[in-house]
Amino acid sequence: MDGKVAISEKIAQSAHVDCGDCPIRHRAVCARCEADELELLEQIKYYRNFEAGQTVIWSGDQMDFVASVVSGIATLTQTMEDGRTQMVGLLLPSDFVGRPGRERASYDVVATTDMVMCCFRRKPFEQMMVRTPHIAQRLLEMTLDELDAAREWMLVLGRKTAREKIASLIAIIARRDAALSMQGTRGPLVLDLPLTREAMADYLGLTLETVSRQVSALRKDGVISLEGKRRVTIPDMGRLLEEAGDDSDGGMLV
C-alpha cells in the first residue's frame, strides 16, 4: 500500500515512474508491449499534469503529441459556431488521446478533474508504431471498442427519451465502476457521478434543466437515491436497466 501511494505521488509530481509500476500498465496502449518495447517507450515518454477545468487541447490546434490518461477524467467535445456543444467521448484512465498520422486535433479535450497524462511526441511514437506491432495491435483493439461505445451512444442520442438517457448514463458509469472496483455484483451499488449536470446534458443531447428534472424523477420513483448531488446509490440494477430501455441481458456487469 505504501508503495502505491508513493507511486501516485510521484506521478502527481510528474516525476519519472517506471512503466512496470504504472497503474494503467495493463490496459493502456502499451498493454501488449514486451519488456524491451517498454524500455523504448520509457525513453520517449513524459508526464503532464492538468488541473480540473483546464483545456488540454483546442480543436484545430497543432497536435504534436499523443497520450494516455494515467489518472483523472477528461471530456472530448465538439462545438458549433453558435455555441451548441456535444460531448463525443469520455476519457478515463488508460484511454488514448490523439491520432497517429493526424496533424491537428479534431475535438476539444478538457480535464474535468485533476489529471495526469503520459505523453509521447507524435513523430517518435509513429516511428515506434511501425516497428512494434504490439502497439498498433492494442491501439486497434482500443479503437474498435471506442467505435462500439460511440455506436451505443448513437442509439441513446437518436432514440431514447430523456429519462432513458439519464438511466443509461448512470448504468454505464455504474458498470465501469463495478468493473474497476470489483465490489460484488449483488446488493446496492454506490457511485460518484464524475460529471456536472451541464456535462451530463452535453453528453446526452439535453439541457441541464431536463437532466436535473429527470434525475429528480428517478429519485422520486425509487430507481436511484442521492446523497448530496453527486453520490448515487442504485438499489436494483435490473430496475435501472429497465428504465434505460436496455435488453434485460444487460444484468451482467461486463
Partner DNA sequence: TCCATCGCTTGATCTGGGTCAAGGAGCTTA
Partner DNA sequence: TAAGCTCCTTGACCCAGATCAAGCGATGGA
Nearer to a copy of itself, 166 or 189 (CB): 166
C-alpha cell at 226: 442521492
Q: Interface mask (CB under 7 A) for DNA, residues 173-202, using x and -?
A: -----------------------xxx----
Q: Which three cell numbers stand for residue 129?
A: 508504431
DSSP per residue, 200-252: HHHHHTS-HHHHHHHHHHHHHTTS-EEETTTEEEES-HHHHHHHHT--GGGGS
| Residue of the chain from 24, 111, 139, 215 that contacts DNA (CB under 7 A) | 215
In the bound state with a copy of itself, the residue whose beta carbon lies nearer, of 8 and 137, is 137
Could you say whether residue 86 binds a copy of itself (CB under 8 A)? yes
Among 69, 118, 191, 206, binds DNA (CB under 7 A): 206
C-beta of 68 vs 71, nearer to a copy of itself = 68
Q: Does 45 bind DNA (CB under 7 A)?
A: no
Q: How far is the CB of 109 from DNA (least distance, A)?
A: 17
Rounded to whole angstroms, how far apart are CA atoms 94 and 196?
Answer: 22
89 binds, among DNA, a copy of itself, none (CB under 5 to 8 A by kind): a copy of itself
Distance CA 61, CA 215 (A): 36
Residues 110 and 28: their CA atoms lie apart, in Å, by 20
Are the C-beta atoms of residues 135 and 32 closer than 8 Å to each other? yes
DSSP structure string for 95-108: -EES-TT-SB-SSE
Is residue 107 within 8 Å of 89, Cβ to Cβ? yes
Considering CB distances under 5 to 8 angstroms, the limit depending on partner class, which of a copy of itself, DNA, none binds residue 159?
a copy of itself
What are 167's three cell numbers? Answer: 438511466
Task: Return residues touching a copy of itself (CB under 8 A).
Answer: 76, 78, 80-82, 84-86, 88-89, 99, 101, 106-107, 133, 136-137, 139-141, 143-144, 146-148, 150-155, 157-159, 204-205, 245, 247
Residues forming the site for DNA (CB under 7 A): 161-163, 196-198, 205-213, 215-216, 226, 229-230
